[in-house]
């Protein structure tokens, strides 16, 4: 059943089908109520025809609606939007001061008996009985004839107007559209300069979100990894989604960037910009319902998400809230009154009261659930599905649709007003206590801002004052103060090209520096354009020292030119180059002549010029300095590097000369047509003084050498460079114990423990020369003899009978197999054999956060609920994320050799791993 009818004939057919499903006695009672004495001796079919004539007559409908009470008209008005609703919805909408559920139920019964409300029937459920005393009656659906709905338009059933409060709330959070435009401008500047990386799911990378968060606060930096976490999950994501919905950003190659022409948004008036952002918010992919702190969304097995509103329902609810804001007075208004107005006029603006199921569900329900069990089923349908109170200790976490409307739909209204519309700068939010937390608490009162009044109530935008003659001030210390930056974002965007931002709020502070001016010149600005911009906006000449310094910086820049795509052409002599440049092949190819024998050629013309020169019989050698070719030199020991003549180029010579000396050609033993570089401790000391480390040298040689570096070459070069601290030595004696003893037992003896210098293994230890006589005497005293020599001690056969039997046939025992597995697992780096701690909750989070701070790898034992066995892995933690009320660890898994995400609830054991 839809909310609209295409004509009188269709309306009559709908009524006929409905009355046919009624019991005959109910049809007779209805006709008697509408027209006394009309159906006294008629059959049911004749009474139905008479009812249809009355209810399709517009004049009769106007008289019937006009005779209703204000409550009756309001109940009919509650279904005007859809034309069809449930009795449960009407019972909720009708209640108010002095009107309880019993009174509303009586009014609904009267409307049904008068035919102004039609009760829907089910195809196989038997006759509809107009009896509403049973609890199951609230699940019934009702609708109104088209003529009755049309008659409501001419009857005044308006509720009393909302009243404004004169008392200022203890805490006010002002909605500032200027603040919003500033942040949107800074976000667009960030996206235009660097972009924001997107994950495979299309979500922004958290590291880039932190950078964007810092960019929105010029002059401030985040000090902790998790700093600004609430902003990252809240207002910052809201801004990004708002920019995307407003058409100011787009995704390119897994990056979110500002669209071309986004700067035009900065030149729009406040009203035009606010209207554009407001229209984008109405359908924004942003769920205010899921941001309610006192509710938690839970899985619902029977109907998807249950009653959790989907995005399209959120958009409809926003429209309903804005419709009430169109008529609110100026000043503070209670949020509870706004929500109450929605309950009375559109109680299902967010969540329907009664879910609809297919007809076969009702067949089963009517045939089995009758009487007591049917009422229990009705009571179950009166609960919200898919979410509950977040307080786990509450005795009753479930919420009822007929009693907890303010806690669900009312809280959603407060969330939309106090967060989204306040962020848009259209609402000021007031809280009922001074220590309230705007990020988690809901506002008690709201007030339209001046811009909100213009937008919601369609008042003419206030004429903006003409800008002052001076928009900025340039000070002799090179600081530029923009007087009203948020009203002149176009000027601010121009300053960004050649000045550094110090702060940006109502007033902005910029600084002119050599680097910032060079940045502007590289972007295409000229000295005259920079000076003109500053002098025009300041309505005064620049300070003399600033003007002269800008001229000096521009002249210094003009002496250095950067050509991003050019080729250097070097001829054998000046005459040859002059002859080449005069050829037609060089037309439009020469950038400039650098020296008598060298010229700069455009990169796009390099192939054409090279082909022409080779056509003249001259061989052309091409060197691409943008590439770094490997394997172009040979190592003859750690001290000699040989480069073939065809591989020798100026850049390679520069890099080798930083840590080696170039030898002239003709060196004895050198291959023909090659160059020799020698490395010595003095050349490595020179490189170290220049800031070049030995590891950088080894990396360079390993990449460039054809055969690579041997261990001896690496050791020698590191030794010559002073990489190693002095090796320490001392004269000691080594003592080896037989298999029947171990140094762990001997070290427990107080007389022997201080005489041991170092224990190397269970059977081997070192003793210094000065302690040797005392150790020898202590061992002799205990009946232990010492003999010179060093080698493997004979092992006693301590194996049992089973082990000896297994060894005789060449089989391994279970203990030997287990030991081999432990050794193999230890070598593979899986962490087997390491004792794990069984932590959970906060203790596990603290353990993982400590590993993140210390950049320490972890050994975890991981088991999903669906897996029968757990797996042990070595992971390198990257980030700890909270999603959906659970903690997730982003880490690199050494076992799988890829980035993985682990849910902390599935980690049954954890320990620190060695680096």
pLDDT in tens, 701-720: 988 888 778 888 889 999 99
Q: Which two tokens stand for residue 399?
A: 């919420």
3-class secondary structure per residue, 451-520: HHHHHHCCCCCCCCCCCCCCCEEECCCCEEEECCHHHCHHHHHHHHCCCEEEEECCCEEEECCHHHHHHH
Q: Which residue has the tokens 């108010």?
A: 96
| Statement: residue 496 has pLDDT above 50 | yes
Q: What is the pLDDT of residue 802?
A: 54
pLDDT in tens, 852-892: 888 899 999 998 888 878 888 899 998 888 776 678 899 98
Rounded average pLDDT over 57-76: 85
Q: What is the pLDDT of residue 801?
A: 52
Q: Which two tokens stand for residue 66?
A: 């006009």
Q: What gap in Å lies between CA 670 and CA 2, rounded to an integer?
A: 96
More confident residue, 286 or 670: 286
Q: What gap in Å lies between CA 459 and CA 455, rounded to an integer?
A: 7
Confidence band of 830 (pLDDT split at 50, 70, 90): low
Q: What is the pLDDT of residue 43?
A: 84
Confidence band of 843 (pLDDT split at 50, 70, 90): confident
Q: What gap in Å lies between CA 694 and CA 723, rounded to an integer?
A: 7
Q: What is the pLDDT of residue 448?
A: 93
Q: Regarding beta strands 479-482 and 508-511, do their DSSP bridges make them parallel or antiparallel, or are they unpaired? A: antiparallel
Helices 514-522 + 527-538 axis angle, to 10? 110
pLDDT in tens, 181-196: 888 888 888 888 888 8
Rounded average pLDDT over 813-834: 54
| Statement: residue 666 has pLDDT above 90 | no
User: What does 251-266 look like in DSSP terms, one character per residue?
Assistant: EETTEEEEPTTGGGGG
DSSP state of 165: B
DSSP state of 628: -
Q: What is the pLDDT of residue 623?
A: 74
Q: How many other CB atoms sit within 10 Å of the CB of residue 69?
A: 11
Q: What gap in Å lies between CA 150 and CA 80, rounded to an integer?
A: 9
Residues with Cβ < 8 Å from 448, sequence gap 6 or more?
325, 328, 330, 426, 427, 428, 456, 457
Q: What is the pLDDT of residue 223?
A: 41
Q: What gap in Å lies between CA 591 and CA 605, rounded to an integer?
A: 11
Q: Which two tokens stand for residue 587?
A: 């037309």
Rounded average pLDDT over 564-579: 84
Q: What is the pLDDT of residue 284?
A: 93
Q: What gap in Å lies between CA 285 and CA 143, rounded to an integer?
A: 33
Q: What gap in Å lies between CA 269 and CA 181, rounded to an integer?
A: 11
Residues 656/687, Cβ–Cβ less than 8 Å: no
Highest mean pLDDT among 81-85, 222-226, 342-346: 342-346
Q: Please, which residues bridge with residue 472 across strands?
A: 482
Q: How many other CB atoms sit within 10 Å of the CB of residue 854?
A: 10
DSSP state of 671: P
Question: Which of these ranges, 289-303, 609-623, 816-830, has the smallest mean pLDDT?
Answer: 816-830
More confident residue, 486 or 226: 486
| Statement: residue 277 has pLDDT above 90 | yes
272: Cα within 13 Å, side-chain hemisphere: 7
pLDDT in tens, 253-270: 888 998 988 878 887 888
pLDDT in tens, 221-254: 444 444 445 555 688 899 999 999 999 999 988 8
**List of long-range contacts for 621-624, beta carbons under 8 Å, 24+ apart:** 621/646, 623/649, 623/651
Q: What gap in Å lies between CA 521 and CA 851, rounded to an integer?
A: 47
Q: Which residue has the tokens 């989604």?
A: 241
More confident residue, 68 or 42: 68
Beta strands in 493-605 (DSSP E): 500-504, 508-511, 566-570, 590-595, 598-602
Please name the helix (run of DSSP H) or strand (run of DSSP E) that holds residue 288, with its range, or none: none
Rounded average pLDDT over 634-640: 88
- Determine the 3-state secondary structure of 807 from DSSP: helix
Q: What is the pLDDT of residue 841?
A: 82
Q: What is the pLDDT of residue 915?
A: 66
User: What does 216-238 look like in DSSP terms, one character per residue?
Assistant: TSTT----STTTTHHHHHTHHHH
Confidence band of 375 (pLDDT split at 50, 70, 90): low
Rg value, the chain, Cα: 43
Please name the helix (run of DSSP H) or strand (run of DSSP E) that holds residue 780, with its range, or none: helix 772-781
Q: Comparing C-alpha atoms, which of 51, 99, 273, 76 is closest to residue 180?
A: 273
Q: What gap in Å lies between CA 650 and CA 471, rounded to an integer?
A: 53
Q: Which two tokens stand for residue 592?
A: 């400039």
Confidence band of 687 (pLDDT split at 50, 70, 90): very high
More confident residue, 496 or 357: 496
- Determine the 3-state secondary structure of 296 from DSSP: strand
pLDDT in tens, 751-763: 888 999 888 888 8
Residues with Cβ < 8 Å from 529, sequence gap 6 or more?
none
Rounded average pLDDT over 760-786: 88
Q: What is the pLDDT of residue 503?
A: 82
Q: What is the pLDDT of residue 110?
A: 86
Considering the chain, what is the average pLDDT of its residues? Answer: 81
Beta strands in 391-439 (DSSP E): 427-431
Q: What is the pLDDT of residue 508?
A: 85
Residues 383/398, Cβ–Cβ less than 8 Å: yes
Q: Please, which residues bridge with residue 313 across strands?
A: none
Confidence band of 280 (pLDDT split at 50, 70, 90): very high
Q: Which residue has the tokens 């070097």?
A: 570
Rounded average pLDDT over 267-276: 87
More confident residue, 127 or 161: 161
Instruction: For residue 420, report the phi and psi dihedrals to the nearest 5 degrees.
Output: -60, -50
| Statement: residue 83 has pLDDT above 90 | no
Question: Which of these ranges, 38-42, 305-309, 434-438, has the smallest mean pLDDT?
Answer: 38-42
| Distance separating the N- and C-terminal Cα atoms of the chain | 68
Confidence band of 367 (pLDDT split at 50, 70, 90): very low
Q: What is the pLDDT of residue 155?
A: 62
DSSP state of 586: G
Instruction: Give the alpha-carbon dihedral of 706, 707, 710, 715, to 10 degrees.
Output: 0
Question: Which of these ranges, 349-358, 688-697, 723-732, has the smallest mean pLDDT?
Answer: 349-358
Question: Which of these ranges, 371-380, 417-426, 528-537, 872-881, has the smallest mean pLDDT?
Answer: 371-380
Q: What is the pLDDT of residue 675?
A: 87
Buried b (16+ CB within 10 A) or exposed e, 347-383: bbbbbbbbeeeeeeebeebeeeeeeeebeebbeebbe
Q: What gap in Å lies between CA 495 and CA 493, rounded to an integer?
A: 5
Q: What is the pLDDT of residue 120?
A: 81
């Amino acid at each position: 059943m839809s909310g609209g009818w295409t004509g009188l004939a269709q309306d009559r057919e709908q009524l006929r089908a409905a009355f046919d499903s009624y019991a005959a006695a109910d049809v007779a009672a209805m006709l008697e109520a509408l027209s006394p004495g009309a159906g006294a001796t008629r059959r049911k079919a004749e009474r139905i025809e008479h009812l249809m004539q009355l209810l399709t007559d517009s004049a009769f409908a106007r008289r019937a609606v006009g005779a209703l009470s204000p409550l009756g008209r309001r109940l009919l008005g509650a279904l005007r939007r859809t034309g069809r609703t449930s009795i449960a919805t009407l019972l909720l909408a009708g209640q108010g001061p002095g009107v309880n559920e019993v009174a509303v139920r009586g009014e609904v019964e009267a409307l049904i008996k008068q035919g102004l409300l039609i009760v829907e029937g089910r195809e196989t459920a038997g006759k509809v009985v107009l009896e509403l005393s049973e609890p199951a009656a609230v699940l019934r659906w009702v609708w109104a004839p088209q003529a009755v709905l049309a008659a409501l338009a001419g009857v005044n059933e308006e509720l009393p107007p909302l009243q404004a409060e004169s008392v200022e709330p203890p805490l006010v959070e002002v909605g500032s559209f200027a603040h919003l435009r500033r942040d949107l401008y800074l976000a667009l500047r960030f996206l235009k300069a660097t972009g924001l990386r997107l994950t495979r799911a299309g979500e922004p990378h958290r590291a880039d979100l932190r950078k964007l968060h810092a960019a929105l606060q010029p002059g401030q930096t985040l000090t902790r990894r998790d700093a600004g976490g609430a902003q990252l999950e809240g207002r910052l994501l809201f801004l990004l989604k708002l920019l995307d919905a407003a058409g100011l950003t787009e995704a390119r190659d897994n990056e979110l960037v500002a669209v071309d022409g986004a700067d035009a948004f900065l030149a729009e008036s406040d009203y035009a910009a606010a209207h554009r952002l407001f229209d984008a918010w109405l359908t924004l992919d942003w769920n205010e319902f899921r941001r309610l702190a006192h509710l938690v969304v839970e899985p619902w097995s029977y109907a998807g998400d249950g009653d959790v509103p989907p995005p399209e329902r959120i958009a409809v609810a926003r429209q309903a809230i804005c419709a009430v804001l169109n008529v609110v007075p100026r000043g503070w208004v209670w949020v509870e009154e706004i929500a109450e107005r929605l309950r009375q006029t559109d109680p299902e603006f967010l969540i329907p009261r009664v879910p609809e199921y297919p007809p076969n569900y009702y067949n089963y329900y009517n045939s089995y659930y009758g009487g007591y069990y049917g009422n229990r089923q009705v009571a179950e349908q009166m609960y919200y599905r898919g979410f509950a109170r977040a307080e786990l200790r509450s005795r009753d976490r479930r919420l009822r649709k007929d009693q907890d409307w303010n806690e669900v739909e009312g809280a959603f209204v407060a969330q939309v007003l106090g967060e989204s519309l306040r962020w848009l700068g259209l609402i000021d939010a007031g809280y009922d206590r001074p220590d309230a937390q705007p990020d988690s608490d809901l506002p008690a009162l709201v007030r339209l801002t001046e811009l909100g009044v213009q937008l919601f109530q369609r008042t003419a935008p206030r004429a903006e004052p003409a800008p002052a003659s001076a928009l900025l001030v340039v000070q002799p210390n090179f600081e530029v103060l923009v007087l009203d930056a948020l009203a002149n974002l176009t000027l601010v965007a121009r300053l960004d090209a050649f000045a550094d931002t110090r702060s940006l709020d109502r007033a902005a502070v910029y600084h002119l520096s050599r680097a910032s001016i060079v940045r502007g010149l590289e972007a295409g600005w000229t000295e005259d354009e920079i000076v003109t911009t500053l002098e025009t906006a300041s309505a005064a000449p620049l300070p003399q020292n600033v003007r002269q310094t800008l001229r000096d910086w521009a002249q210094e820049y003009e002496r250095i030119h950067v050509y991003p795509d050019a080729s250097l052409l070097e001829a054998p002599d000046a005459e040859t180059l002059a002859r080449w440049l005069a050829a037609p092949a060089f037309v439009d190819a020469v950038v400039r002549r650098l020296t008598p024998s060298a010229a700069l050629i455009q990169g796009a013309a390099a192939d054409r010029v090279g082909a022409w020169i080779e056509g003249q019989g001259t061989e052309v050698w091409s060197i691409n300095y943008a590439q770094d070719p490997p394997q172009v030199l040979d190592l003859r020991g750690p001290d000699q590097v040989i480069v073939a003549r065809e591989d020798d180029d100026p850049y390679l010579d520069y890099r080798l000369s930083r840590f080696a000396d170039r030898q002239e050609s003709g060196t004895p033993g050198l291959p023909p047509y090659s160059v020799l570089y020698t490395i010595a401790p003095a050349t490595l000391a020179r490189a170290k003084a220049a800031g070049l480390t030995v590891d950088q040298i080894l990396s360079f040689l390993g990449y460039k050498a054809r055969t690579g570096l041997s261990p001896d070459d690496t050791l020698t070069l590191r030794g010559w460079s002073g990489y190693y601290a002095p090796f320490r030595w001392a004269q000691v004696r080594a003592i080896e114990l037989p298999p029947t003893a171990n140094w762990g037992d001997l070290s427990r003896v107080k007389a022997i423990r201080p005489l041991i210098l170092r224990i190397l293994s269970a059977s081997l230890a070192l003793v210094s020369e000065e302690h040797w006589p005392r150790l020898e005497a202590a061992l002799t005293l205990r009946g232990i003899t010492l003999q010179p020599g060093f080698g493997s001690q004979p092992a006693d056969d301590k194996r049992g009978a089973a082990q000896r039997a297994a060894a005789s046939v060449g089989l391994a025992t279970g203990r030997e197999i287990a030991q081999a597995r432990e050794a193999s697992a230890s070598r593979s780096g899986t962490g087997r054999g390491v004792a794990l701690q069984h932590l959970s909750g906060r203790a596990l989070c603290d353990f993982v956060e400590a590993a993140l701070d210390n950049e320490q790898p972890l050994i975890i034992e991981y088991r999903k609920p669906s897996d029968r066995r757990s797996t042990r892995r070595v992971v390198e933690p990257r980030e700890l994320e909270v999603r959906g009320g659970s903690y997730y660890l982003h880490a690199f898994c050494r076992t799988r050799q890829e980035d993985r995400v682990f849910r902390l609830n599935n980690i049954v054991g954890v320990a620190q791993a060695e680096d």
